[in-house]
Amino acid sequence: MLMKRNSILMLAIGMMAICIGMAACNNDSSSKDKAKTEAKVADADHIYQCPMHAEITSDKLEKCSKCGMDLELVKKSEMKKAEVPAVKDSTKK
């Protein structure tokens, strides 16, 4: 009788441990997601830039006014340079 009670108690503790473990895991992943979204904010070193149009930049996440793509967060030091259209060539024609 005592043995059976003990095993049931152990089982209950085991179940609780699994539940707590799962809850901890869930909390972990949600806090990670939160950190991820929080990190996606332009600061002094980062700026949003269209992957297709280097001249389209913003300090917040928005869509490119030219192609409608989501701007990507890039380091200012790693920004693509806006390509200046070669005006010379087109006028020469």
Choose the binding region for Zn ion from 10-18, 30-38, 41-49, 67-75 (rule: CB under 5 A).
Answer: 67-75
In whole angstroms, what is the distance from residue 82 CA to residue 63 CA?
A: 17
Q: Does 53 bind Zn ion (CB under 5 A)?
A: yes
The CB-of-85 to Zn ion minimum distance in angstroms stands at 15
Q: Does 71 bind Zn ion (CB under 5 A)?
A: no
In whole angstroms, what is the distance from residue 77 CA to residue 50 CA?
A: 15
In whole angstroms, what is the distance from residue 47 CA to residue 61 CA?
A: 9
* Residue 80 near residue 50 (C-beta atoms within 8 A): no
In the bound complex, which residue of the shown chain has the CB atom lying closest to Zn ion?
Answer: 64
Binding residues vs Zn ion (CB under 5 A): 50, 52-53, 64, 66-67
